[in-house]
Amino acid sequence: MARGKFITFEGIDGAGKTTHLNWFRERLEAQVEPAGHRVVMTREPGGTPLGETLRGILLNQPMDLETEALLMFAARREHLAQVIEPALSRGDWVLSDRFTDATFAYQGGGRGLPRDKLEALERWVQGGFQPDLTVLFDVPTGTASERRSAARAPDKFESESEAFFERTRSEYLRRAEESPQRFFIVDSTRSIDEIRKKLEEVVASI
């Protein structure tokens, strides 16, 4: 069985990625299951029992910025070891709601943790491992803020200022510019139908 592929969905809170995640999984299953591949859907922080425990802490408890980044990568190491790497070795495809780009965007861009510290953690935890494809849902921060205000009670990240999300968005776009072969950017101001037409093209190209 050929090694599977790893696809991630990224974007600031309110960008709309969650709206399309299950739909994309269904389209991906229809594409790859006839070839004998299974699709494993997961998320970060989370994806394992330990990761889900850390998720509750990370999204709701105040803490030092470096502690926050270290816990994000601790959850990621467990996620890689227990879920992502075994699935890919089995030939499964993995679809994750966020991965390391989110840490660079939120803890780096948003919170201002120096990039060299994140890069050191990235090398330690992942080596050279990166997603095969990252779908980045991009939207102006004002639009994202309106969407968040209409959603559930916010966690500590969703409660951040528009300036925080401007910095977070900028770091996402910097990462995409740095690795254009990996990123597919979706204009998330478009209608759901228009976005899904674009995502259909992504699935067909895999």
Q: Name residues whose C-beta falls within 8 Å of residue 85's C-beta, 6 or more positions apart in sequence.
A: none
Check the annotation: does 108 bind a ligand. Answer: no
Please measure the distance between the N-terminal and C-terminal CA atoms of the chain and give it in whole angstroms: 17
CA 65 to chain centre: 20
Quick one: angle between helices 49-60 and 65-79, nearest 10?
160
13 is in an annotated binding site: yes
Query: Do the annotations mark residue 163 as ligand-binding?
Result: no
Residue 30 CB: number of other CB atoms within 10 A? 11
The neighbour count for residue 112, using CB atoms within 10 Å, is 11
11 is in an annotated binding site: yes
42 is in an annotated binding site: no
Question: CA 76, CA 87: separation in Å to the nearest integer?
Answer: 15
Query: Known binder of ligand: residue 206?
Result: no
Phi, psi for residue 138 in degrees, rounded to 5: -110, 135
Q: Is 18 annotated as a binding residue?
A: yes
Residues flagged as binding site: 11-18
Feature table: binding site for ATP: 11-18
